[in-house]
Structure 1
Amino acid sequence: MISNLLKVTCLTVLLVFVGSFSFAQSNYFKFSYGLGAGINKSYTDVYKGSFGYTTYGVLDFHVTPFVTLGLEAQYGRVQGGDIVTDPHNRQFINQYNSISANAKLMLGEIVDYDKSEFLYNIRGLYFGTGIGIINNKMTDIVRYKPSWASYDPGYGPFPGKDKSLNLLMPINFGFNYYIEDGYGYMRYVININAQSNFTFGEGLDGYNDSSAKFKNYSPDVYNAYTIGFRYFFGKIKSYRKTL
């Protein structure tokens, strides 16, 4: 009788311990913030874009560990063209800043990664989009063709604004690599992200020329390729899957 009671007690304690451990592994922090930086490439009305830089800060609310709603602020330089090699002798440097609201969905939300080591390792893959505003500020731009231009020297001014606000739509594709803290929680993230930013208006390159004279048929875009670091914090919430 005592032996059976002891067995039942030990089994109960073991089940409680295992259940508690599983529950701990299924908890996550509701917020994260992060910083990052990288390069960007412009695709505008200017014949050829060139590389600039992007820095950013993010604050995310985690609906689940793999679904987020957040804010992202950027500061950087977008540039393109070359006064010597551009067919119209145009070039620009845009020292921009932007803010956007976004949503992201990660692979871990929609697949059963517990049964596959491969899916578990890539559960941080994600896609996202959002809406925001970009503040354009031209720190260098060619408004008049130089006197030595091979075609139509001295032409100008090229129409456009040195300062402007445009609507911005970012599209993100990236990967989060999760790092646990000493208690087994997902606490740190190394983030790799590719982002296409579609701007609506003619402010990104500072040129607003007539499409009858210049090719001007699509939104101005800059793609940013960044790496960053994020930290989870805030209240703890339970999740249906083991993390």
Structure 2
Amino acid sequence: MFDKHLKITSLAIVLLCSIQFSWAQSNYFKWSAGIGGGINHTKTDVYKGGWDYTVYGTIDYHFTPFVTGGIEAQYGELKGGSIVTDPHNRQFVNKYSSVAISGKAMLGEFVDYEQSKTLNALKGLYAGIGIGVVNNNMTYIVRYKPSWAAFDPGYGPFPGKDKSLNLWVPLNLGINFFINDGYGYVRYAINVNAQSSFTFGEGLDGYNDPVTQFKNFDPDTYTVYSVGVKYFFGNVKAYRKSL
């Protein structure tokens, strides 16, 4: 009889430990913060865009491990054109900052990645969209053609503002590579992201060209290619699948 009770007790302990281990593996932190940086490229009213830098910070709330909503802030420099090679001798440098609220959904929310090594590796793949404001600050801009310009030397001023605010819509495509801590929780992530940012208005390059003189029909945009890190924190919540 004693041996029977001992076996039952031992089995109960093993089952309890298994349940606790599974439960821990299915919990996730509700919050994450991230930082990162990369290069950007502009497409505006000047003939050719330019490459420069962007740094960013994010804070996200995780509705599930794979569906998030949060805030993103950016700071950096945007540039384009060339006073020498641009057909109109135009060039700008914009020391910009921006903030947006955004949402993202990852592949892991929609697929059974537990049964596939490939899907498990790709479960952090995501797409997202946001809306916010970009603050434009021209630290350099050509308002008048130089005296040595091939056409219309001294022409100007090119219309536009040196400082402005524009509506900003970022579209994100990227992937998170999750890293567990010593307790089995997802605590860190390495993030690789491509973001296309559309602005509404003519502030990104500082030129507000009349369509009668320039082809000016597309919104000013810039694209950021970045790498960053995330840290997960806060209260934990249960999730239906193992993480």
Cα distance per residue 1:64-106 (max 9 Å; x no partner)? 1101100011000000000010001000000000000000000
Distance (Å, rounded) in 1 between the aligned partners of 2:151 and 2:235 = 64
Partner residue, 1:222: 222
In 2, the alpha carbon distance for the partners of 1:11 and 1:112 equals 30
1:72 — aligned with what?
72
1:31-70 mapped onto 2 (5 Å cutoff): 31-70=31-70
Q: Which consecutive residues of structure 2, in runs of 5 or more, have no partner in the other structure?
A: none
Counterpart residue identity of residue 176, structure 1: N
Within 1, Cα distance between the matches of 2:4 and 2:125? 50
Counterparts of 1:12 and 1:108 in 2: how far apart (Å)? 33
Match of 2:211 in 1: 211
Q: Secondary structure at the match of 1:183?
A: coil
Long gaps (5+) in structure 1: none
SS at match of 1:7: helix
- For residue 139 of structure 1, what is the aligned residue in structure 2? 139
- Once the two structures are TM-superposed, the CA of residue 10 in structure 1 deviates from its matched residue by 2.1
Q: TM-score, normalised on structure 2?
A: 0.98
Q: What pairs with 1:81-120 in structure 2 (closer than 5 Å)?
A: 81-120=81-120
CA distance in 2, matches of 1:55, 1:199: 18
Tell me the TM-score normalised to structure 1 length: 0.98
Q: How far off its partner does 1:8 sit? A: 2.5
Q: What is the Cα-based RMSD across aligned positions, in Å?
A: 0.8
Q: Deviations over 1:202-223 (max 9, x none)?
A: 0000000111211111110000
Q: Following superposition of structure 1 onto structure 2, how do residues 125-204 of structure 1 map, counting pairs within 5 Å?
A: 125-204=125-204
CA distance in 1, matches of 2:40, 2:20: 46
Tell me by how many angstroms 1:19 deviates.
0.9
Once the two structures are TM-superposed, the CA of residue 170 in structure 1 deviates from its matched residue by 0.2
CA distance in structure 1 between the aligned counterparts of 2:5 and 2:180, rounded to whole angstroms: 38
Q: Secondary structure at the match of 2:40?
A: strand
